[in-house]
Amino acid sequence: MLVLDCPFCGPRNESEFAYGGPALAPRPADPSAVSDADWVDWLTVPPNPMGEVEERWWHLRGCGAWLTVRRHTVTHAVTEVRLGR
């Protein structure tokens, strides 16, 4: 089980949080310049690398803050937790 260190509430069990998905790159400035296939991939295919990823977590059963968490997908070691994006 993950322990996430909320900046407001301190270390908390992952059961207090709701997973919000991967922290994605911003939408393209001009979506019409992106191919249909690339746009569908950006919208529907989440990255799933082995190694560090950035994810969004909502402290649902706590302060309500949205956090960006850097986590290793193999070891589940959390290396960074910050507010927002």
Q: What is the pLDDT of residue 13?
A: 95
Domain residues for 18?
A: 3-26+35-83
Q: What pLDDT sits at residue 5?
A: 95
In this predicted model, what pLDDT tens digit does every residue of 8-26 receive, in sequence order?
A: 999 999 999 999 988 877 7
**pLDDT at residue 48 in the model:** 80
The CATH number of the domain where 16 resides is what? 3.30.2270.10
**Helix H or strand E encompassing 3:** strand 3-6
- Domain tally, the chain: 1
Q: For residue 3, give Cα distances in angstroms to 44, 61, 76.
A: 28, 14, 10
- Under the banding of pLDDT at 50, 70 and 90, the label for residue 77 is very high
Rounded to the nearest angstrom, the gap between the alpha carbon of residue 84 and the centroid of all alpha carbons in its chain is 10
Q: How far apart are the first and last CA of the chain?
A: 23
pLDDT digits (tens, 9 = 90+) for 42-69: 888 877 889 999 999 999 999 999 999 9
